[in-house]
Amino acid sequence: MAEFSIECLNTFLENQDRLFDEPVAETIEEAGAFLEDVMAEVVDSIDDVRDYLDQSGMDVDGMSDEEIEEAAEVFALPSGRYLIVEA
C-alpha cells in the first residue's frame, strides 16, 4: 500500500462508483490492496494518461484532454496528477 498516497486512496474511495456499480473498497487499507491487485498507475500529466491508455490498446486518437479525463478509469487527483484504474 505504500506506493499509493493518501490522496490517491481517498480519491479512489470517494469516486469508485464512476467505475464500479458496487464499492470494491470501504477503507483506506482495502483501497490500497485493491489498487495494488489491479496494478493501478499514477501518472504526472494528461499526456501521460493518453500514452498509458494508448499503450493499453484504447483508441485515444481524436479524443480531447477533457474526454480522456472523463474516462471512467481515470481519476484526477487534487495535486494535478492522475490515478488510472483498469477494471
pLDDT at residue 67 greater than cutoff 70: yes
Q: Which domain holds residue 59?
A: 6-84
Residue 1 lies in a domain: no
**Whole-number pLDDT of residue 2:** 45
pLDDT at residue 75 greater than cutoff 50: yes
**Whole-number pLDDT of residue 68:** 96
Q: What is the 3-state secondary structure (H, E, C) of the chain?
A: CCCCCHHHHHHHHHHHHHCCCCCCCCCHHHHHHHHHHCCCEEECCHHHHHHHHHHCCCCCCCCCHHHHHCCCCEEECCCCCEEECCC
User: Any long-range contacts for 48-54 (C-beta under 8 Å, 24+ apart)?
Assistant: 48/82, 49/74, 49/82, 49/84, 52/84, 53/84
Residue 18 lies in a domain: yes
Mean pLDDT over 13-32 rounds to 96
pLDDT at residue 1 greater than cutoff 60: no
Q: What is the pTM of this model?
A: 0.92
What's the domain count of the chain? 1
